[in-house]
Amino acid sequence: MKYVIMADGKGSRWNNYMGHGKHEICFEGETLLERTARLLHEFDDSAEVIITSHNEALAVKGAVRYEPKNNVLEIDRFTAELISDDMCFLYGDVLYSVEAIKAIISEHGKRPLLFIGSQTSICAVLVRDGGLFKDCYEKIRTMFLNGEISECKGWQVYHIYAGLPLETREIGADYLVVDSFTRDFNTPEDYTEFLSTRQ
């Protein structure tokens, strides 16, 4: 399966904390990107791993770096030109547990779209039907540009797919909640809070 790790964000909330970008956070001797790429290859022999980023420093072993053609809105992290059938989008600022990666791989192909994460954060999107996902993505992007909604992120894509209100963070069908170890690091506070739980 093709895995696209999205790592082309501007990192404004992280603000170069500790002198590096959030994708370069290390856990047990690996950056988040190195760990995710390694785990994908470890549990999926056919894994094709792509990291989307304009930053050459984010190239890692086991993955190809790809520079997206468009990165204006947050929703553009889903790199429209890479959307296809039988793929998975993952977030580059997420520390995935082994169990979460296994769950992502084992759920492949079971539903047209499956969103995976916690109660508050989406950490992966499994796409069996690329046309359906691209349609949801384009609808949300257009609605945002037309001023019909105030945000255009993964949550809005999930909500339009699941038929939920667009301005909330509800969970309904085709959403898999993964273990609490898997988490994202948008801000320095996210990271320091995680470290405090590890002590």
SS (H, E, C) the chain: CEEEEECCCCCCCCCCHHHCCHHHCEECCEEHHHHHHHHHHHHCCCCEEEEECCCHHHCCCCCEEECCCCCCCHHHHHCHHHCCCCEEEEECCEECCHHHHHHHHHCCCCCCEEEEECCCCEEEEEECCHHHHHHHHHHHHHHHHCCCCCCCCHHHHHHHHHCCCCCCCCCCCCEEECCCCCEECCCHHHHHHHHHHHC
Residues of the chain with pLDDT under 50: 11-12, 14
pLDDT of residue 198: 59
CATH code at 181?
3.90.550.10
**Structural domains counted in the chain:** 1
pLDDT of residue 13: 54
pLDDT of residue 26: 66
pLDDT of residue 14: 46
Q: Name the pTM for this structure.
A: 0.87
Range of the domain at 87: 2-198
pLDDT in tens, 77-133: 999 999 999 999 999 988 898 999 999 999 988 899 999 998 888 999 999 999 999
pLDDT of residue 30: 86
